[in-house]
Amino acid sequence: MLLLVDYWPHPVANPPTASKAHPRLPSLCVWLCLALIGGMFATCTANAAQSASSLFSSLRGLVYQVRVIDTASGDKTTIGSAFRVAADGLLATNFHVVSSLVHEPAKYRLEIVGDDDFKAVATLVVVDVLHDLAIIRDKQHGARHFTLLSAALAQGERVFSMGNPQDLGMTIVEGNYNGPLKSSRFERLLFSGSLNPGMSGGPAFNADGDVIGVNVAAGGEQLSFLVPVRDLQNLLGKASIAAATDDFKLALGQDLRHESDAFYLARTSETWRSEPFGDLMLPRDISPAMKCWGHNVDKDDAAYEGFHQHCRSEEYIYLQDDFHTGNFSYDYEWMLTSKLNPLQFYTAVERRFQHPSPDNTDDEDHVTNYRCTTDFVAVDDTPWKSSICVRRYKDYPDLHDATLVMVSLKDNERAALIKMAVTGISHKRALDLFEKLMRSVTWDH
Amino acid sequence: MGSLVVQITGKNQRAQDYARSIGPTLKIGRSFANDLVLTDPYVAPEQIRCEKHHDRWLLSILDRTNPVLLNGTPVLDDTVAVRSGDRLMVGRTELAIFSDEHSVDATRKLAARWLTPERIGPWRACAVLLGVALFDVVAEFLQSSVDLEWKDYLYGGLFSAAVIVAWAGAWAIAGRVLRHHSQFFAQLLMVSLVSLGCSVVFPIVDYLGFWTSSVTITRAAYYVVGVAALTVLVKWNLVLATNVRNTGIAAFFVSASVIGLGFAASQYTADEFEPEPDYAGVVKPPFAHLSSDRSIEAFMADTRRDAARL
């Protein structure tokens, strides 16, 4: 339980496994990672070790390190991994590995480096921001490539992953396949093995060397995530018909918009189940792709008592290193007091009457200022002080961040707060969602 | 022109000494034989002789070591006629020349008779200061003691008392310089009372923010009340520390410019990027909720209109 509570504030996809060139590379981390991989090999059976070594020697020529080179300094700014997926020079990697090239094509170029110091210039072919995939191409291609597995895998099956962690050289990692994440908005496979920064975009394959997914993120010790191979197959289909372009942003914005439109249309058109929360009936389980956590405040020295329910999607879409989207969260809070006088209680409530922060960017290059509308709104015949703020993405048409906070008090000693934050949504969908939430709020008479 | 009055003008137009003509002459100089004795080493022992000729007063310059200036221009002739209200510069001394028929302003009324040092005294002023600081502490505690210790409120009260004393002290020094009266305790009393007024009025402005749910109206109200409070404060400071005539207007201009500058600065930074939303976040008890509630439709219509303008 402690582990879970500890874990919840960190979204699953929190540390993308692309390694940013950083002047202060934490040497302790490198040491720990090495120790982790070494320890894992020690626990493996002799049989498995043999199989890993033969797989490694046969596949090492198909996996590369991807370098995003800053053209001004001529040195790498981001590293990840990539692997051959077709005979015509196509390689798969993660979108987050090449995102700086997508956003500022004039400032960066792409390079792949093989295990035998083979080096080649690569170009971007097509990207899938939603599933964090990108297809790149180099000209000096060979005929050999990975085969993509079309059959399903059983949970627990042995899975191997390759990549170049921390720029230390090509490695192979063994773990177990644990199936797709239940109820996730952007499909991910759970890989119980250890991925490290720099392995992003590398292949994960079964004992036959057939690709089952693409390395994408690490969530904790022996807890890693893969993009399902199906998404890679879909993107490969697009790659064959993609026109040569330098501008991936437009299509990227459209993908984001279409996905979020469909996702939130589903949320607003389905029926929400209401359950008691304090003296209220509130909708619960608004999205299956959310994790909910609760806690209460009832210490002896606390001036008021109360409890919370926080629900948040623990996955998001990586856009740039200081900008992500696709967050969805809501928060119910119930407060009551027997110690505070009305004025003091209202001060306590006022401190909680704050817009939830989606925390996805604080850079003015990406978003406008929030525009807020605040008023008293009659919800179930009770006044709720309600405030909605919306800000627009500067680079992507009709995508917004929107937040809602509303509060109502009864008898100067009970208060309910409802908050919701959505990022990467059209303002129409966001406000439809908020309206539906407001209409779902009733007092439990 | 009747008899002649010559005043030695001191700092801030305050007459230090004067002489009135008894006969048709009046002598001015450094020697003790003069009617008006100047202690200025740059003035000759016999410097000026004033004589009455046919209802006019003529000045004779008796010594030319240093020039004599009449209304700022050097007197080149040996004698010169003067009129009531003329200013004379002799050496480093400034003199004002008046006829005894020169009209004077009507008597100014004291702004408040109770605001004299005799009536206020240190004890009363300190008692009011203490009362105001205590009021602040208690009011603050009753409104917001959610997680602060009572000590924090006490320190807050002490701090506001220190600010009041410092402000009154600064004006007392100004009064000492400008009027030769510090009026410290009168200043302390007035500053304390204005502070009390602010403690009462500003929370009401918060309520205004709650009623209107508008950031703009709340901010405008803060500026208006800020100018009003500062005007009242500076007006009383000026009354006590200076002889300025239109203290109210002067105070208003000072306050409006100070707060106007603050407003201009905030406008200058208004276009800057803020990662956090700016909204009317005041929550007050229901008795302060005067406006009627909007329907969900009406509120969402407003929100949609605002979002579309982004």
Q: How far apart are CA B133 and CA B116, in angstroms?
A: 23
pLDDT of residue B297: 95
Nearest to A373 among B273, B281, B303 (CB): B303
Mean predicted confidence (pLDDT) in A80-109: 93
Instruction: Quote the pLDDT of residue A28.
Output: 29
Strand order in the sheet with B15-20: B15-20, B4-9, B93-99, B86-90, B68-70, B73-74
Which residues in chain B have their CB less than 8 angstroms from residue A385's CB? Answer: 213, 283
Least confident segment among A27-31, A221-225, B291-295? A27-31
| Angle in degrees, 0-180, between the axes of helices B117-144 and B184-212, rounded to the nearest 10 | 30
Residue count of chain A? 445
- Secondary structure of residue B147 in the 3-state scheme: coil
CA distance A306 to chain B (A): 14
* d(C-alpha B40, C-alpha B45), whole Å: 10
Q: In Å, how far is A71's CA from the nearest CA of chain B?
A: 30
> What pLDDT does B12 receive?
65
Please check whether residue A108 is in contact with residue A69, taking contact to mean a CB–CB distance below 8 angstroms.
yes
Neighbouring-strand partners of residue B53: B56
Which residue from B minimizes the CA distance to A305? B146
Provide mean pLDDT across the span A105-125.
Answer: 91
- Termini Cα distance of chain B: 78
Mean pLDDT of A152-172: 93
CB contact under 8 A, A374 and B295: no
- Give the burial class of A323: count Cβ atoms within 10 A of its Cβ; 0-12 exposed, 13-18 middle, 19 or more buried: buried
Most A-contacting residue of B302, B303, B304 (CB-CB within 10 A), to test interface: B303
Q: Distance between CA atoms of A191 and A181, rounded to whole angstroms?
A: 10
Chain A within 8 Å of B304 (Cβ-Cβ)? yes
B 154-213: CB under 8 A from A: 213
Digit-by-digit pLDDT tens for chain B (310 residues) are: 688 999 998 776 677 889 999 989 999 999 999 999 999 999 999 999 999 998 899 999 999 999 999 999 999 988 999 999 999 999 999 999 999 888 888 888 887 778 777 788 899 999 999 999 999 888 888 877 666 677 888 888 899 999 999 999 999 999 999 888 889 999 999 999 999 999 999 888 888 888 888 888 888 999 999 999 999 999 999 999 998 888 999 999 999 999 999 999 988 887 788 889 988 888 887 777 777 889 999 999 999 999 998 8
The predicted structure's pLDDT at residue B146: 66
Residues within 8 A of A (CB atoms), B 113-152 only: 142-147
Q: Regarding predicted confidence, which is higher, A380 or A32?
A: A380
The pLDDT of residue A38 = 29
Contact list in B for residue A435 (CB cut-off 8 A) is: 296, 300
Q: Which of A339, A368, A377, A438 to mutate to test the interface with B (most CBs of B within 10 A)?
A: A377
CB pairs under 8 A between A and B: 134
- DSSP 8-class letter at B96: E
Among A340, A409, A412, the residue with its CB nearest the CB of B146 is: A340
Q: At B183, list the tokens.
A: 């009026």
- For residue A407, the chain B residues in CB contact (below 8 A) are 283
| Phi and psi at residue A210, to the nearest 5° | -90, 135
For A384, which residue in chain B has the nearest alpha carbon? B293
**For residues A93 and A134, is the Cβ–Cβ distance under 8 A?**
yes
Record: contact B304-A428, CB cut-off 8 A: yes
Rounded Cα distance, B213 and A386, in Å: 9
Contacts of A214 (CB under 8 A, 6+ apart): A92, A93, A94, A133, A201, A202, A203, A204, A226, A227, A229, A232
Please give the average per-residue pLDDT across A38-62, as a whole number.
64
Whether the pLDDT of residue A37 is over 50: the answer is no
Contact residues, chain B, for A394 at CB < 8 Å:
none
Chain A residue at shortest CA distance from B212: A375
Using CA atoms, how far apart are residues A264 and A325, in angstroms rounded to an integer? Answer: 14
Could you give the CA distance from residue A154 to residue A180 in angstroms, rounded to a whole number? 11
| Parallel, antiparallel or unpaired: strands B36-37 and B25-29 | parallel
Q: In the structure, what pLDDT confidence band is assigned to residue A299 with cuts at 50, 70 and 90?
A: confident
Name, in order, each residue with C-beta under 8 angstroms of A82's C-beta and a sequence gap of 6 or more. A63, A64, A65, A66, A91, A92, A93, A97, A112, A122, A136, A201, A202
Query: Three-state SS string across chain A, please?
Result: CHHHHHHCCCCCCCCECCEECCCCCCHHHHHHHHHHHHHHHHHCCHHHHHHHHHHHHHHHHHEEEEEEEECCCCEEEEEEEEEECCCCCEEEECHHHHHHHHHCCCCEEEEEECCCCCEEEEEEEEEECCCCEEEEEECCCCCCCCEECCCCCCCCCEEEEEECHHHCCCEEEEEEEEEECCCCCCCCEEEECCCCCCCCCCEEECCCCEEEEEEEEEEECCEEEEEEHHHHHHHHHHHHHCCCCCCCHHHHHHHHHHHHHHHHHHHHHCCCEEEEECCEEEEECCCCCCEEEEEEECCCCCCCEEEEEEEECCCCEEEECCEEECCEEEEEEEEECCCCCHHHHHHHHHHHCCCCCCCCCCCCCCECCCEEEEEEEEECCEEEEEEEEEEEECCCCCCEEEEEEEEEEECCCEEEEEEEEEEEECHHHHHHHHHHHHHHCEECC
Asked if the Cβ–Cβ distance from B146 to A304 is below 8 Å, we say: yes
How far apart, in whole angstroms, are the C-alpha atoms of residue A19 and residue B243? 73
A411 within 8 A of A402, measured Cβ to Cβ? no
- Rounded to whole angstroms, the maximal C-alpha distance in chain A is 78
Quick check: A176 pLDDT over 60? yes
Q: How confident is the model at residue A6 (pLDDT cuts 50, 70, 90)?
A: very low
* Shortest Cα distance, chain A CAs vs residue B193, angstroms: 24
Instruction: Give pLDDT, residue B1.
Output: 67
d(CA B94, CA B12): 12
User: Is the CB of residue A423 less than 8 Å from the CB of residue A258?
Assistant: no
Quick one: angle between helices B117-144 and B150-179, nearest 10? 150
pLDDT attached to residue A9: 31
In chain B, residues 20-39 whose CB comes closer than 8 Å to chain A: none
Q: Residues of B with CB below 8 A from A323's CB? A: none
Model's pTM, two decimal places? 0.81
ipTM score: 0.83
CA–CA separation, B214 vs B4, rounded Å? 67
Partners of residue B153 in chain A, C-beta under 8 Å: none
Phi and psi at residue A411, in whole multiples of 5°? 55, 30
Identify all chain A residues contacting B303, using CB atoms and an 8 Å cutoff. Answer: 373, 388, 390, 431, 434
Comparing CB atoms, the residue among B146, B300, B308 nearest residue A348 is B146
Task: Give Dmax (Cα) for chain B.
Answer: 96
In chain B, the residue whose alpha carbon lies closest to the alpha carbon of A350 is B283
Do residue A431 and residue B307 have CB atoms under 8 angstroms apart? yes
Residue A296 in this model has a pLDDT that exceeds 60: yes
Q: Which helix (H) or strand (E) holds B48?
A: strand B48-53
Question: Strand A210-220 and strand A203-205: pairing?
Answer: antiparallel
Q: What are the pLDDT digits (tens) for A381-419? A: 889 999 999 999 999 999 999 999 999 988 888 999 999
Point out the residue among A341, A346, A378 whose CB comes nearest to the CB of B294.
Answer: A378
Closest residue to A346, CB basis, from B276, B284, B304: B284
Average pLDDT for chain A: 85
pLDDT > 90 fraction of chain A, expressed in percent and rounded: 65
Mention every residue, 6+ apart, whose C-beta is less than 8 A from residue B43.
Answer: B29, B30, B66, B90, B91, B93
- Among A221-225, A235-239, B153-157, B170-174, the least confident range: B153-157
